[in-house]
């Protein structure tokens, strides 16, 4: 421990791995410290910039969290799960085999829009399908909405995703089985070794695979690998958040007959009329209405 980094002398760091209330913090020298938050601090996340005080060899206490530029998390009626902080891009990995849940993709992108971060879609395992496959056709809708879709066969070549990753802090999300780990391991050849090092720091054994981990690809680019998920709850969103989570709705807002239009069944709804005229895809409107019902029936604590 140097004099500058001695116990009691605060220094800045980046959370590069998170599991429960155990965190691995990377300081300016590149050293990894095993840290716990001091006091009753809220949940922290991989990607958080923090201030720490060293408490011993390779150990420290998190005493402050710097303001966040973004926070990606999911929530349902039982709990919320923080995924990552201070990201500029969310990379959603989907594949044709096994079939992906379009509802999960849609919800992830709504969360991106709510936080003002980019959404990037990777269609993995393209060696198993052709451009006329149902999966490719499904994703054409998202390309028409302005989202970038990158076809990929991660086991053969991951270089197609390097340009959209460059200069971003991206969090990689997706269902189990989509090839997310294959992509991360190809991008970060020593990912398994780094994961083992994080696990040692967290002293949590094999269970640390449930936590998020940040890897640097170059000085300007990093990725956060997150655990696989099957659902993406949005109970934390308000109705205006949800409406704005559908970018194709925005140009029609303020044109409804009623100022308090929910854009579901109300007469004179500009969005419903746009659906009738094929200006908005009916699948998206139906998904929006289902999410509206879900938000209206969420527990009082989320209201």
Which part of the chain is CATH 1.10.40.50? 239-302
Q: DSSP class of residue 292?
A: H
Residue 129 pLDDT exceeds 90 = no
Confidence at residue 204, expressed as pLDDT on a 0 to 100 scale: 43
Confidence at residue 230, expressed as pLDDT on a 0 to 100 scale: 86
Confidence at residue 76, expressed as pLDDT on a 0 to 100 scale: 83
Superfamily of domain 71-225: P-loop containing nucleotide triphosphate hydrolases (3.40.50.300)
Please state, in angstroms and rounded to a whole number, the distance separating the CA atoms of residues 219 and 208.
26
Higher pLDDT, 205 or 69: 69
In angstroms, what is the C-alpha Rg of the chain?
21
Tokens of 87: 């990201």
Residues 118 and 168: beta-carbon distance below 8 Å: yes
CATH architecture designation of domain 239-302: Orthogonal Bundle (1.10)
CB within 8 Å of 197: residues ≥ 6 apart: 32
Residue 80 pLDDT exceeds 90 = no
Confidence at residue 110, expressed as pLDDT on a 0 to 100 scale: 97
Query: Strands, E, within 67-140: which ranges?
Result: 71-75, 80-85, 89-95, 118-124
- The continuous run of DSSP H or E covering 172 comes out as strand 169-174
Which part of the chain is CATH 3.40.50.300? 71-225
Which part of the chain is CATH 2.40.50.140? 11-65
* Mean pLDDT estimate for the chain: 87
Residue 240 pLDDT exceeds 60 = yes
Domain 11-65 CATH assignment equals 2.40.50.140:
yes
């Amino acid at each position: 421990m140097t004099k500058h980094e001695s116990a009691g002398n605060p220094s800045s760091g980046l959370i590069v791995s998170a599991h429960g209330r155990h965190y691995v913090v990377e300081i300016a020298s590149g050293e990894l410290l095993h840290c716990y938050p001091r006091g009753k601090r809220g949940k922290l996340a991989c990607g958080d910039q923090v201030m720490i005080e060293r408490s011993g060899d390779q150990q420290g206490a998190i005493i402050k969290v710097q303001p966040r530029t973004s926070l990606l998390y999911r929530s349902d009626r039982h709990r919320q799960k923080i995924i990552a902080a201070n990201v500029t891009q969310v990379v959603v990995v989907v594949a044709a085999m096994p079939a992906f849940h379009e509802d999960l993709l849609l919800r992830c992108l709504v969360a991106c829009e709510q936080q003002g971060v980019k959404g990037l879609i990777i269609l993995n395992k393209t060696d198993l399908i052709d451009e006329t496959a149902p999966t490719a056709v499904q994703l054409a809708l998202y390309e028409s909405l302005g989202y970038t879709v990158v076809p990929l066969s991660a086991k053969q070549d991951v270089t197609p995703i390097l340009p959209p990753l460059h200069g971003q802090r991206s969090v990689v999300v997706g269902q189990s089985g989509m090839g997310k780990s294959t992509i991360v391991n190809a991008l970060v050849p020593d990912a398994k070794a780094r994961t083992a090092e994080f696990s040692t720091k967290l002293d949590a054994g094999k269970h640390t695979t449930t936590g998020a981990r940040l890897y640097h690809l170059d000085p300007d680019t990093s990725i956060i690998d997150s655990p696989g998920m099957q659902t993406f709850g949005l109970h934390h969103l308000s109705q205006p958040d949800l409406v704005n989570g559908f970018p194709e709705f925005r140009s029609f807002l303020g044109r409804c007959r009623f100022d308090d239009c929910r854009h579901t069944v109300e007469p004179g709804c500009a969005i419903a009329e746009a659906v009738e005229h094929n200006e908005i895809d009916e699948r998206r409107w139906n998904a929006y209405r289902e999410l509206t019902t879900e938000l209206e029936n969420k527990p009082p604590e989320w209201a």
